[in-house]
Amino acid sequence: MPKKTTKHWKRGRGKLGVLAPLIGNWTATAATPMGPVTCTRSLAPVLGGHYIELSVRWQFGKGAYEEHAMIGVNSEGKIAFWSFTSDGKNSSGLLADCSDIHPEAIGFEARMPAGLARMAYWPDDDGGYYWAVESKNKKGWRRFTEHHYKKA
């Protein structure tokens, strides 16, 4: 008999309903090569629910790094993101299958100057989630950042 998997996340209605578990204000702390970081992540429906706005702030000792992104349905009917960061960079990508990380993982892939990258979110057992950024290489995905978020 197959093992029953417990669903942690309830999807919402509509195309963007897949992102419903991420809506809200979240915080994580982590150790980095630049010292400890506190990261806040906020996702909220905007523009009549046609988009989800993502606001992120990475607070390092004396400095901060910020990202603002919009997630919505692009002209081809696919869920996409458009991201802008405080270092003047921007990226865009599409919803991607990240089930190799976790059966309920939600993720996006983007073509970056250095190659294919992805970010993924997946549930923990206590109402929070994990978030990671990975780059694709010949051997598969290489994780270089991971945070554990809890409700703020």
Residue 37 has pLDDT above 80, yes or no: yes
Domain boundaries, the chain: 15-151
Q: Which pLDDT value is given to residue 105?
A: 96
The class that CATH gives domain 15-151 is: mainly beta
Question: What do you get for the CA distance between the two ends of the chain, in Å?
Answer: 40
Q: Are 91 and 67 in contact (CB under 8 A)?
A: no
Indicate the pLDDT class of residue 41, thresholds 50, 70 and 90.
Answer: very high
Digit-coded pLDDT (tens) for 62-84: 899 999 999 999 999 999 999 99
Q: In the predicted model, what is the mean pLDDT of the chain?
A: 93
Indicate the pLDDT class of residue 34, thresholds 50, 70 and 90.
Answer: confident
Q: Which pLDDT value is given to residue 6?
A: 65
Digit-coded pLDDT (tens) for 109-136: 999 888 899 999 999 999 999 999 999 9
Stated pTM of the model: 0.91
Rounded CA separation 43/41 (Å): 7
Residue partners of 19: CB distance under 8 A and separation at least 6: 12, 43, 52, 71, 106
